[in-house]
Amino acid sequence: MGKDQLVIDAGQKHFGTTVCKSCGMIYTASNPEDEIQHLQHHHRFLEGIKFVGWKRERVVAEFWDGKIVLVLPRDPSYAIKKVEDVQELVDLELGFQQTVPVCPDKTKTFLFIDEKRVVGCLIAEPIKQAFRVLSEPSASKECSRAWRCSDVPEPAICGISRIWVFRLKRRKRIARRLVDTVRNCFMFGCFLSTNEIAFSDPTPDGKLFATKYCNTPNFLVYNFHN
Ligand code: ACO
Ligand code: ZN
């Protein structure tokens, strides 16, 4: 560790709170249990997002700070394995109760690669309908999630089952570029509008992003549990 560490703010609730500059985990360096947990997460996480490059990569977008690689269900097992590893880390972080995509053979996974790491991931799947998030004058406290949606289905084409960006790489437009790329690549020959894409049961971060990206709080959602 050592150089990897950065004390954010000594005034925080737990003195000595540290964020690891490599894996992004926030922990208390003075707490042995926390340190053990960190080391376990650290190795697993860095191994999971490591990307050495593949002989045949389907690069669908390139930027000055990275590229987006598309992985399809019939790709070689090393590519599928990487997607599974990343998805596992994402689900762990999101605490998803494993909502398996409806048609796994139709999912398209987009990985944002920077240097030698996967720093962003978007899993897209075909959908037929979605529901519009309702604007709320005052958020209801009884509701377990931060949004309510209409019960009137609307036709939609592409579902974003998961979207995730490595904690230390957020707010650099990586998610935005992933969604732009999905809209461009999901259906051959057409660029999907924001009314044709929907977000699966968005988290608070996901809601903030989708509201900004779709330019409306009434973006489309699907696959939520009541
Ligand atoms: N708070 C407020 N606004 C936000 C946030 C946020 N946390 N995240 C994004 N935005 C808005 C901003 O307006 C931002 O533009 P700006 O930085 O110029 O102000 C705009 O969205 C675009 O943001 P990006 O930089 O493209 O988003 P980022 O790469 O940081 O990724 C994401 C956003 C994927 C939600 C990230 O925060 C993340 O991985 N969070 C944890 C995982 C998660 O909750 N994912 C969503 C699950 S829902 C689902 O998967 C369908
Ligand atoms: Zn670490």
Residue nearest to atom 7 of ligand 1 (CA): 205
Atom of ligand 1 nearest to the CA of 164: 39
Half-sphere exposure of 205 (CA within 13 A, CB side): 11
DSSP designation for 41: H
H helices of the chain, in order, are 32-49, 77-94, 174-185, 204-213
Terminal CA-CA length for the chain: 43
Atom of ligand 1 nearest to the CA of 207: 48
Atom of ligand 1 nearest to the CA of 177: 26
Q: Rounded distance, CA 222 to CA 102, Å?
A: 12
- Contact 171 CB / ligand 1 (< 6 Å): yes
- Contact 165 CB / ligand 1 (< 6 Å): yes
Query: Long-range contacts for 16-20 (Cβ within 8 Å, ≥24 apart)?
Result: none
Residue-by-residue pLDDT tens, the chain, 226 positions: 444 555 444 444 556 788 999 999 999 888 899 999 999 999 999 999 999 999 999 999 999 999 999 999 999 999 999 999 999 899 888 877 666 666 788 999 999 999 999 999 999 999 999 999 998 765 555 555 667 899 999 999 999 999 999 999 999 999 999 999 999 999 999 999 999 999 998 999 999 999 999 999 999 999 876 5
Q: Please give the structure tokens belonging to residue 1.
A: 């560790």
C-alpha 1 – ligand 1 centre gap (Å): 28
pLDDT value, residue 223: 86
pTM of the entire structure? 0.90
Q: Report which bound ligand comes closest to the CA of 182.
A: 1
- Contact 91 CB / ligand 1 (< 6 Å): no
Cβ of 40: how many Cβ atoms within 10 Å? 11
- Contact 66 CB / ligand 1 (< 6 Å): no
Query: Long-range contacts for 77-80 (Cβ within 8 Å, ≥24 apart)?
Result: 78/54, 79/54
- Contact 124 CB / ligand 1 (< 6 Å): no
Q: Which of 40, 192, 174 is nearest to 113 (CA)?
A: 174
